[in-house]
Structure 1
Amino acid sequence: MINKNILKDRYFWIITLLILIITGLHYSNLMSEWEIHIFYRKLYYIPIILSSFRYRLKGGLISSILISILYAPHLLMFGGVVSITMINQYLEITLYLAIGFITGKLVELDYRKQKLFENKVIEITKLQNYTKNIVDSINNGVISTDTNFFITSINRKGEDILGIDEKDEINITNILNDKNVLDILNQAKEQKLQFTNIKTNINVDGEDKFLSITVLPLFNILNKVQGLVIIIQDKSREKNLEAQTVRADRLVAVGELASGIAHEIRNPMGIIKTISQTLLEESDEKDLTEGLEIIVKEVDRANKVINGILNFAKPPDNEMKEISLTELFKEVVLITDKYLSTNNANMELSIGQDVNIEADKEKLKQVFINLIFNGVQAMDKGGKIFVTTELREKGVNISFKDTGRGIKKENLKKVFNPFFTTKEKGVGLGLSVSDRIIQDHNGYLAVDSIEGEGTQIDIYLPMQQKAGVKNKKQNINS
């Protein structure tokens, strides 16, 4: 049976039509000069060659056999006496078969080579994709460059770390522009050396990243360097955790020392206050009364500092409960609303989704109110505080951003130190206590500020197993 797909092929009908037309010319001009039939006979090569190129060996053989069968009766009927001319015509039938076979065979061999080449290309493409998938699955940035340090390939993690796209034509020296790193890249290329654990830092979209880099020369089959392989590890999280650990250890040491000092100071301060109050009740002298009132007032202020120190050194146990972040912020808004309006400030609170977390409600409220008050105090002529929440992997990020005077760059690393403050009447325990509370909730607190533009404080809190997310958007402005 004829394949249905062949019947849909226009070349099949063209070849068939040519054979029928040429055969028809032979049989419709029987009385013509014999030379005209020689011309018609030559025309048979056209469908044979077309069929060979279109359908390869099978097409060449079938078309040549069919033409031989169609032409043979013409020779038997009108061939006449056996002669050289007659023998040549019979030999031409043999040529039909030979041309059909040879042309079809050559096309068949070319087709097989082409298919083999296509299969090899497919295999190489699959291998390249498989290799790329492996490289993309590596949790480090893997980059290859040419000898001029232009990036030739980069995996997904590398794109994330460096903040670039594989399609971009980028010179790695424009990103890793540390002089020490540039020297190492040149040494690796020229001296064929490997370098490991190179420390550097870069800024990507305003975010500082701390990197550990390994550099290896990339060799071709002639053992000549054709570029470099650069492996990048993002150590930013480890660096931040290390800084938090150092900070926590420092706070514990300061807390224990402060606790001992506070206990020793509290007793004599209590005695001073008691004696001052007794003398105040008995004294009628105006100057003495004013002096005693100042003493009592300053002792009370000192006691507030001592209580803050004791709370910082030995904070009470957390009362962890599942709470709604939206409900918590509603309470914070009620408490801070009057303070904001009095200081010509307002707050824009935008909660993307109502997040439930495991936390000590009162302590988190203390942290949020403290950060809002700090923001207001940093805005001398009033301004705006933006509070936003954003879901992160297994947690939520809460951002407090003010439009105040900002923090000097040299003071950014000191803001968590106990008793560090730039306020005239500040104690310097607010951020330290807030940081400790957030750490007790297995989260972390980060500060970023530009002098003259404002300060942003980010709090990350993990969502525990009982915590959830309600598909609901909140927007509260005050």
Structure 2
Amino acid sequence: MSKDWVTRMPFDIMNLKFILGEYKVKSKVDILNTEDSYIVSSHNIVTEIGNGFLELTGRSMDEPMDNLIGKSLVEIGEMLRINSQILLENIHNYYAGYIFTKFLEPREVNISLFYDKDTNEQIYTFVEKPNSRLDDKLSFVKQTLLDNIVGAAIYSVPDSIMLRVNQNYLDFHDSPFNEETSLGLPISKIITGYVGTESEVVTNTALETGKTSYHREIRLNKFARGITYWDTIRTPIFESGKIKYMLLTTTEATERVLKNQIIEQQNEIIIQQKQELIQQQKELLNRQKNMLDLSTEAIFAWDLNGGIIYWNKGAELMYGYSCEEVIGHISQDLFKTLYPSNIDNIKSILKRDSFWNGEIEHTRKDGKKLLVETRHQVILNELGHKIVIETNHDITGRNWMEEELDKSQRLNTEIIESINDGFFYLSKEWRFIFINNRAANNMGYEPHELLNINIWDKFLHLKGSQIENNFRYVMSERESIQFELSGILTDRYYEYNVYPTSEGISVYWIDITEKKAKEKELIESKEEVMKNRMDKEMARLDKLSLVGAVAAGIGHEVRNPMTTIRGYLQLLGSKQEFSKYNSQFALMIDELDRANSIITEFLSLAKDRVVELKVQSLKEIVEHIFPLIQADGLVTDKYIQMELEEVSEIPLDEKEIRQLILNFVLNGSQAMSPGGTMKIRTFMEEDEIVLSVEDDGKGITPEVLGKIGTPFFTTKENGTGLGLAVCYSIVARHNAKIEIETGTTGTTFFVRFRK
């Protein structure tokens, strides 16, 4: 904020105010004995600051940039962003308003001014109003700001000071605004030429009526870029029966308005030619036809009481019908039009108003459904008959991507809730903004009992602990950290993975109690054979732990396709057509499918996954799944043989065994050439039930064999390296083991189950 905006008040005027009784006189000692949030100034220079003031404003005396001692009241006002409301040195006895923290968060405070005549000092006390924080009261508005889909801002009432805003809203305006340069300013400083505009009228209407005020296509002509049109909503937010805030949501409609103006101008040209000779009218219509054929929008005309009489090239591309196929047909019947209301109501509106806009559903020639943004304009032809000019824009992709975005967001939450390890988000104020069931339960609470609660206030025993030190390090340095700890949250041993996020930090912990026990057993072991075995087991656990570490960043993996969808949604919103972007659509779908596949296999590797064991026959499971295996073999030109002997029934999870068999069969099938043969067997061998899958491929090299089952290791170009890792996890959960025999004539996987 520029210092040029304010003018400092001479000290002799302040003395005059004291003489006139405009200041409250009180001993500095008496004030500081009862108040913690204060600043003391002498000759308009700050000489002392209370700890409560530092905490209120998010500052620390330990940080050079936060040291306020020696600064003028004007500079303090700039840092608090209050100068646009009032200068601190102009406060008489009391002022109620807003200040902003170091992190640009608004705080509603009462400021009182006292004067110590003995020390010739002014003492300003700052008291935050109870229950006044926006994020606590207006969580629904916070999400609107974070989505950044439409421009959104919150202003105070009645002084119209900007309290919260997203970048989309700021981008509409002339100056290159951001939160740093805009928060704390009045609306008149944000919107160029605001006073006296229709925008001000809309705001005043909402304030006077206390109702949401929605206006389309507000015209503003004082922006540097010229005339603009906005669709805007002003929503009053009440508190204690009075309007406390005003929520502004805005989208720019300039492109739409200009496009509609062009269409209206074209229609006016047609209407103005009503009195010309029929031949001249035909020639004019022919020229217009050629012009409309250049448009990529679908434009056609139909008699208000009859069929289609004109059809442009854009309509041919959108619907797949040629001009000869549609002329004379009723458009509503041909396209199976679904209007938001009865067609007779739409026609009544057209007869009354001569135009209608809305969204409708059409069916193409190939049966594909289209969601269409349409404009109907009624004109009179040379004979005085009413003709409807229909201009349509395909918005199917835009709505589809919005739905996919919602699905991806729900998927993200479901994934985090489904993992068997602890996961939570902390805001920059150390409040829980998300916590999954496992984390909350480990702490002895339900998730809703911890949301929006400060972690250090709730868990006092964490003060000064390694957890607090490491969390604060990640929050301040914005660097991830990993550490191991036991006996703080529970009596178990955990590996903590802490990552910085835009909102604060995310914490993911893995129960490594078993791993630590094995490490201890390894240290205590004196036999070399046991040591080697434990080395292998530790290596396997470490590799599986890698999956947990990757899962900690699963929000990033899921948000990648979300971000792609969002990006193209915004792109479509700024273009008049998008048929040439089909390749981007395909890429987005592939990314979503790939993310879903990876996540599914991640969850299969979870070591705490619950298995549903049921005593049943391994042979019968193979028989049930064989038609699926055989069908896949026919597609890939592979022959599948079964040699299934009767085996003892044992506790099995049918779904996991089916997955195990399919993974082995898929792996073997990919190793074989067309025409190859695969053999699936079940048999008893001593006290073991054995499943074997044999292929006639080229075998597995020793280098690859040593890495079989390692997560993310793959020899396939497009593989994830999780298929056999999933198999090893399933086998481990059934207390079974895998053996491999391989050679130049093929490979056989044996799974041995205990009775």
| TM-score band w.r.t. shorter chain | 0.3 to 0.5
Greater share of strand: 2
Greater share of helix: 1
**Bigger radius of gyration, 1 or 2?**
1
TM-score by length of 1: 0.44
